[in-house]
Amino acid sequence: MKAGDILAFSQKTLRSHRSRTLLMLLAMAMGVAAVVVLTALGEGARRYITGEFASLGTNLLIVLPGRSETRGVAPGLFMGETPRNLTVGDARALERSSRVRRVAPVIIGSAHASWRQREREVPVLGSTSELLPLRHWKMKQGRFLPPDAAARASPVAVIGANVRRELFGARPAVGEWLRLGERRYRVIGILATEGRSIGLDVEDLVIIPVSSAQALFNTPSLFRILVEARTRDAILPVRNFILDTIQKRHQGEKDITVITQDAVLSTFDRIFQALTLTVAGIAAISLAVAGILIMNVMLVSVTQRMAEIGLLKALGASRRHITLLFLTEALILSFIGACAGLLVGEAGSWLIARAYPALQVTAPPWALLAAFAVALATGLLFGLLPARRAARMDPIAALSRQ
Amino acid sequence: MIRLREITRVYTVGEQAVHALDGISLHITAGEYVSIMGPSGSGKSTLLHILGLLDRPTRGRYFLDGEDILSLDEATQARTRREKIGFVFQFFHLIPRLTAAENIALPLMLAGVPATERKARVARLLEETALSDRARHRPDQLSGGQQQRVAIARAMVMSPSVLLADEPTGNLDRHSGEEIIHLLERLNASGLTLIVVTHDPTIGRRARRQIQMEDGRIIADNAKEPAS
């Protein structure tokens, strides 16, 4: 029997049972569309998150005091050691590498801020002028910290949009004196950037020179040192450079942790990849359901077409012929169903992308391919039982049915 | 061309063994016109099914054109059925969603005959069975006699050496029945071996060789001189 004839015969059969065929196509299409839409959503979320991280600067390294240990207890506890604090001197030392573009020391604290009668608690961030380009922040008004912020405790402050609105209202803030605790700082700029950074809302921040923050919080130690490598490839050498330099400065103690943005990024990437796979797996269940529906309907159809099967055998069809005819029907159904499902899924993804432009909702090619392949495999698998039952049918019993 | 030796077919119905055929030996030569008659349950249909390779005997041997046909595998038997044996049934057994021409072409399709050759052979048979103007009609648009003519055309399309007809007129009025018998006899006259199973004596008596069956045995066979 020629392949074209098998196709033509199966297609004629499917056409003659229009509503049954449409029902099975619908089930298959829904299954495939579900896989496509859900993976598209997962992929969109993944891209959104990794994109957000990338916008923070992927060449970023974060130095924190203390060593993260895989052992349950830090070894220092037994030897009476405490991790040495990071200092502005440490941060300075990190600037001495050609692979390092910028270094920004960071101190974080909280202070009572007031202007005239208005007051509120604000998170205060002490740093240097390098912080602005390093974090890709923008100014809305005025200027950022002066270049000598590391050395001189100048009484100046840059404030976030919320702080400006809540303390100064409609009045101009730049040039005014803001009180933080017992000290006074002249407002020299307002940040335009919104969103979160290092776990803080940028709009709520008050930023002052790092030496001013040391004085304000009465501490020499830093919360973090942010280091930007010149290129992506330089991240690893810079990491080693940081570890070496700090070790030398800390009398041979390896008492810091360096986090690269890359590691955070790839962790999120992995988490979302796993998430996408999970939802795709859940959606694949609907594909299996579609397959079972096809099997059921085809089993009924085998019973209804007993006389025809018997006849085909009498006319000289072998078991292989009958199996092929029924399998081809199942395959045609799953093929057309899968194509329709891909179209519906892509349309759905497009609609979601239109509704939420921030999410880049497009199904990854592997998901399209996998959904298609799984649909065909499901059709084949669940078509097998009815086809074999038809092929094994006793032609006499089949023919005697009227 | 057909030689049966001690063919026995036993069915088990529940606990009981039923001998549908009980040691049938038979020799039919090419071009014969044979009718097999008998009451229902006599085993005539079982015999026809075994002749047509739709059923396997419990014991015995079957030679078709000298070949020990029961020793062949399923696919080869299907091929033999396709190429050497034509079937005509009481209830026509046409596929309702196919046109007359498509129904006739089915065995050719199963055999993998190319479409152009198929067309030519189907057209010739449509003409022989006077159905040329009904080629594109579906079975439900045809009369009973026309449907049976389509079935005969389908049985003949592979140019088989033997045609097995199971009550071919059983579902037709007298006039159509006669038409069908005339068509079958015409085919026999041109060399086809024709075996008709019937319980209608007026049909059965037309055959040159008449076989009477009862309880799975041949009780009469008017072929006095069975060829060696």
**Alpha helices per DSSP H over A56-106:** 76-79, 88-94
Using 50, 70 and 90 to split pLDDT, how confident is the model at B209? very high
**Which of A15, A307, A321 is facing B110, going by the closest CB pair?**
A321
Instruction: Provide, rounded to the nearest whole percent, the portion of chain B with pLDDT above 70.
Output: 98
Query: For A128, which DSSP code?
Result: -
Using 50, 70 and 90 to split pLDDT, how confident is the model at A274? confident
Tokens of B195: 């075996």
Residue pair A383/A298 in contact (Cβ under 8 Å)? The answer is yes
User: Do B110 and A315 lie within an 8 Å CB cutoff?
Assistant: yes
Using 50, 70 and 90 to split pLDDT, how confident is the model at B227? very low
Quote the CA–CA distance of A388 and A37 in Å, as a whole number. Answer: 35
pLDDT digits (tens, 9 = 90+) for B15-47: 888 889 999 999 999 999 999 999 888 999 899
Q: What is the ipTM of this complex?
A: 0.89
Using 50, 70 and 90 to split pLDDT, how confident is the model at B136? very high
Residue B155, pLDDT score: 94
Q: Which residues of B touch A (CB under 8 A)?
A: 49, 52, 54-55, 74-75, 78-83, 85, 87, 89, 91, 93, 95-98, 106-107, 109-112, 114, 154, 158
Give the residue among B215, B177, B170 at the shortest CA–CA distance from B197.
B170
Q: Is residue A180 predicted with pLDDT exceeding 80? A: yes
Higher pLDDT, A131 or A58: A131
Residue pair B160/B100 in contact (Cβ under 8 Å)? The answer is no
Residue A197, pLDDT score: 64
Mean pLDDT of chain A: 86
Tokens of A402: 């009227």
Looking up tokens 């199966």 gives A10
pLDDT digits (tens, 9 = 90+) for A276-321: 888 888 888 888 888 888 888 888 888 888 888 989 999 999 999 9
Residue A84, pLDDT score: 75
Give the residue among A210, A256, A296 at the shortest CA–CA distance from A86.
A256
Of A68-72, A361-365, B159-163, the poorest mean pLDDT is in A68-72
From residue A156, give the alpha-carbon distance in Å to each of A103, A178, B153: 20, 9, 104
The mean pLDDT of A182-197, rounded to a whole number, is: 85
Torsions phi, psi for B209 (to 5 deg): -115, 125
pTM, to two decimals: 0.68
Quote the CA–CA distance of B25 and B5 in Å, as a whole number. Answer: 5
Return all residues near A386 (Cβ < 8 A) that are at least 6 apart: A295, A298, A299, A301, A302, A326, A330
Mutation to test the B interface, candidates A6, A15, A315, A401, most B Cβ within 10 Å: A315
Q: Is residue A384 predicted with pLDDT exceeding 80? A: yes
CA B163 to chain centre: 4
Tokens of A334: 């799953």
A61 strand-pairing partners: A227, A260
Looking at the complex, report in whole angstroms how far the Cα of residue B119 sits from the nearest Cα belonging to chain A: 14
Using 50, 70 and 90 to split pLDDT, how confident is the model at A80? very low
The mean pLDDT of A343-361, rounded to a whole number, is: 88
Q: Is B22 helix (H, G, I), strand (E, B) or coil?
A: strand
pLDDT digits (tens, 9 = 90+) for A54-73: 666 668 888 988 876 444 44
Q: Is residue A126 predicted with pLDDT exceeding 90? A: yes
Tokens of B77: 């038997």
CA A354 to chain centre: 19
Return all residues near A201 (Cβ < 8 A) that are at least 6 apart: A160, A162, A195
Residue B15, pLDDT score: 85
Residue pair A178/A159 in contact (Cβ under 8 Å)? The answer is yes
The mean pLDDT of A382-394, rounded to a whole number, is: 89
Q: Is residue A374 predicted with pLDDT exceeding 90? A: no
Residue B5, pLDDT score: 93
CB atoms within 10 A of CB A295: 20
Residue A78, pLDDT score: 46
Using an 8 Å CB-CB cutoff, list chain B residues near A322.
Answer: none
User: Do B109 and A1 lie within an 8 Å CB cutoff?
Assistant: yes
Domain boundaries, chain A: 3-52+266-399, 84-254
Looking at the complex, report in whole angstroms how far the Cα of residue B93 sits from the nearest Cα belonging to chain A: 7
User: Do B98 and A321 lie within an 8 Å CB cutoff?
Assistant: no
Q: Is residue A198 predicted with pLDDT exceeding 50? A: yes
Residue A169, pLDDT score: 86
From residue A22, give the alpha-carbon distance in Å to each of A14, A15, A16, B64, B161: 9, 9, 11, 47, 44
Residue A68, pLDDT score: 61
**Beta strands A224-229 and A206-209, pairing class:** unpaired
Instruction: Provide, rounded to the nearest whole percent, the portion of chain A with pLDDT above 70.
Output: 93
The mean pLDDT of A5-27, rounded to a whole number, is: 89
